[in-house]
Structure 1
Amino acid sequence: MKVDEDLALPSVKLMRLFELLYSTGSVTRSAEHLGQSQPTVSIWLSQLRKLLNDPLFVRTPAGMQPTPRADALMPVVRDALACIRRLTEEAPAFVPARSTRRFRICMTDASHITLLPRLLAHVRGVAPGVRLEAARIDPDTAGAMEAGDADLAIGLVPWLESGFYQQTLFTQDWVCLVNRRHPRLAGGRLTIRRYEAEPHVGIVSGTGYQLLEATLRKRTIQRNVWLELPGFLGLPAILSTTDLVATLPRHIGETLARTSDLLVLKCPLPIPTFQVKQHWHARFHHDAGNRWLRGVCAALFMPGAASKVVGAA
């Protein structure tokens, strides 16, 4: 028997023997239940008696009968074994149709337009009691996810690395968006020279914006920016009433074009593509509800069935 000599705690096998002897009154039957020989179980009983400083079970014509000390300890032993058994039980299953859980997802304002409506429609259909909350991606996102205050982060979030898992949902390239009746671009062709000459509206937030600005600097291209916006709110109304050009990731560009009758043009700049990923903290990798939500996002937003999860460091 391996016993912590400082705490003098009985091992699980000795507590299991205690429970069986109490219920069967037989060393032989207890040995059969434990899959051990009778001599081995007798040795364990000797160790248990020494540890608890009591005979515990006394041989009588009616079998092994408990001492008053054993009677007093039996409820404690049963409770301890019940707690240990719960450690090895499977985590409760997540049943979407019956859940009332609230999930908090950190995402960009572009994802509010492109991803959130589809996600909400799906969740309402399969999990009517589940509630969603959209939160900003900011410097506090990592801490919120580690603490369990946020469940997922979706977007281009390169600083979520150590301690996080990530899964690529789709790859983004870039397009230009203009008024469908644009006086110079309605024909659908945009060259670098024309790009430099046209007035622009700039979205000046997010990691994607940094990729665009880095490309402009590298190629020494100067945009004539007439208006800067902190996000995509109001952009469709501005483009549909002006001759401004917006350069933005394809997913949000094509979504705004469909909903606001705008024209999508091929971007003349070789702006690097980027991957939109979902991120979750390692603490919640095996959480049933978190797994379900990740699976929903993958099914809705990944092209095809292939997926790759990058493990937490």
Structure 2
Amino acid sequence: MTSETDTRLVDVKLLRLFDLLYSTGSVTRSAELLGQSQPTVSIWLARLRKELNDPLFVRSAEGMLPTPRADELIGLARDALDSLRRLSAWEPEFAPATAQRDFRICMTDASHITLLPRLLAHVRATAPMVRLEAVRINDDTAKLLQSGDVDLALGLLPGLESGFYQQVLYPQDWVCLVNRHHARIQDTFTRTDYSAEGHIGIVSGTGHLLLDDAMKQQQIERRILLKLPGFLGLAAIISTTDLIATIPRHIGETLARSWAIEVYDCPVPIASFTVKQHWHARYHQDAGNRWLRATCAALFQR
């Protein structure tokens, strides 16, 4: 609903006419600068006089001379025009080298191992006063993104749909981690081996649901001897026991580089998925959010 005050706002084209008439003292010259005909500008001047309740300009041998009321108002008019020009010309900027900002990113504990070290190293090198905080992905992630309490979410988040943007970073398939000195598994790793060995189950995150569904569909009963809420401690357990773990490739290969672990393609077909970055539409044009997304894409997108 439009208020009475709103209906009395002066049209910006009338403000531009006011400014030009005050500067040039000529209706003809003002019309040329506005790209309008002189009759049109005369109509605009009549409207301006009515809205401001003053003649504003009177004809003289020297041209159109401002009235005392015009002298009083020209400063306000020019300030308003200047504000409108700045508003129209405003482009959000984010200067990483000097920016002081906190970014909060929802991610899994696997991303703490696979993504966060690279991201932190890059941010410290290019945006030294920017601070990062890793936040757990949970049922409140969508609300946190919408409110701006977190800036970005990285991972498999099928529940983020309406109102959210997403960008694919990289695909993920499944591998099995096995102790490099496993007594029964060396050169090959078969489906028979998979069914016979003891397993570690990771019971957090959305990825394990794909794994569980694949096992049910193929009627494979894993002999799970240890359940973990995340990946903390997984590599140490694999490298010191004969248990195996079925996990996404990125985290598996990352752990294997630092431990006595072998990585095998999973002998049981499991649906692959893609790791994406997600953000809310409210912050799609936010300069800092755009920089953070571009940084993640440059570092992790394949």
Deviations 1:274-311 (A, max 9, x none): 000011111221222222211111111112xxxxxxxx
Deviation at 1:5, TM superposition (A): 9.9
3-state SS of paired residue (1:88):
helix
Indicate the residue corresponding to 2:237 in structure 1: 238
* Amino acid of the structure 2 residue aligned with 1:93: E
Alpha-carbon separation, structure 1, partners of 2:138 and 2:52: 57
Indicate the residue corresponding to 2:159 in structure 1: 159
Indicate the residue corresponding to 1:30 in structure 2: 30
Indicate the residue corresponding to 2:148 in structure 1: 148
3-state SS of paired residue (1:296):
helix
* Amino acid of the structure 2 residue aligned with 1:129: M
Work out whether 1:170 is the aligned partner of 2:179.
no
Deviations 1:137-160 (A, max 9, x none): 111111111122211111000111
Identity %: 66
Alpha-carbon separation, structure 1, partners of 2:261 and 2:285: 43
Correspondence list, 1:254-273, <5 A: 254-273=253-272
Gap runs ≥5 in structure 2: none
Gap runs ≥5 in structure 1: 304-313
Indicate the residue corresponding to 1:216 in structure 2: 215
Work out whether 1:200 is the aligned partner of 2:199.
yes
The more displaced of 69-78 and 169-178 is 69-78
3-state SS of paired residue (2:89):
coil
The more displaced of 79-88 and 221-230 is 79-88
3-state SS of paired residue (2:214):
helix
Deviation at 1:193, TM superposition (A): 2.1
Alpha-carbon separation, structure 1, partners of 2:287 and 2:31: 38
Alpha-carbon separation, structure 2, partners of 1:81 and 1:5: 19
Answer yes or no: is the 8 Å Cα contact 1:27–1:42 preserved in 2. yes
Alpha-carbon separation, structure 2, partners of 1:235 and 1:188: 22
* TM-score between the two structures when normalised by the length of structure 1: 0.91
Q: 1:5 to 1:254 in 2, by over 3 A?
A: closer
3-state SS of paired residue (2:145):
helix
The more displaced of 133-142 and 25-34 is 25-34
Answer yes or no: is the 8 Å Cα contact 1:174–1:250 preserved in 2. yes
3-state SS of paired residue (1:176):
strand
Answer yes or no: is the 8 Å Cα contact 1:178–1:263 preserved in 2. yes
Deviation at 1:183, TM superposition (A): 1.2
Indicate the residue corresponding to 1:132 in structure 2: 132
* Amino acid of the structure 2 residue aligned with 1:283: R
Deviation at 1:206, TM superposition (A): 0.7
Answer yes or no: is the 8 Å Cα contact 2:100–2:130 preserved in 1. yes
Alpha-carbon separation, structure 2, partners of 1:75 and 1:140: 50
Alpha-carbon separation, structure 1, partners of 2:68 and 2:95: 47
Indicate the residue corresponding to 2:73 in structure 1: 73
3-state SS of paired residue (1:133):
strand
Deviation at 1:234, TM superposition (A): 0.8
3-state SS of paired residue (1:129):
coil
Deviations 1:57-80 (A, max 9, x none): 112233322222222222322232
Alpha-carbon separation, structure 1, partners of 2:173 and 2:100: 37
Indicate the residue corresponding to 2:277 in structure 1: 278
3-state SS of paired residue (1:161):
coil
Deviation at 1:9, TM superposition (A): 2.4
Indicate the residue corresponding to 2:63 in structure 1: 63
The more displaced of 188-197 and 41-50 is 188-197
Indicate the residue corresponding to 1:122 in structure 2: 122
Deviations 1:162-202 (A, max 9, x none): 111111111100000011111111x1322222212111111
3-state SS of paired residue (2:20):
helix
Answer yes or no: is the 8 Å Cα contact 2:174–2:247 preserved in 1. yes
Deviations 1:186-236 (A, max 9, x none): x13222222121111110011100000011111111111111000000111
Deviations 1:9-34 (A, max 9, x none): 22110011111112222222222221
Alpha-carbon separation, structure 1, partners of 2:140 and 2:64: 63
The more displaced of 98-107 and 222-231 is 98-107
* TM-score between the two structures when normalised by the length of structure 2: 0.94
Answer yes or no: is the 8 Å Cα contact 2:92–2:286 preserved in 1. no
Alpha-carbon separation, structure 2, partners of 1:230 and 1:78: 63
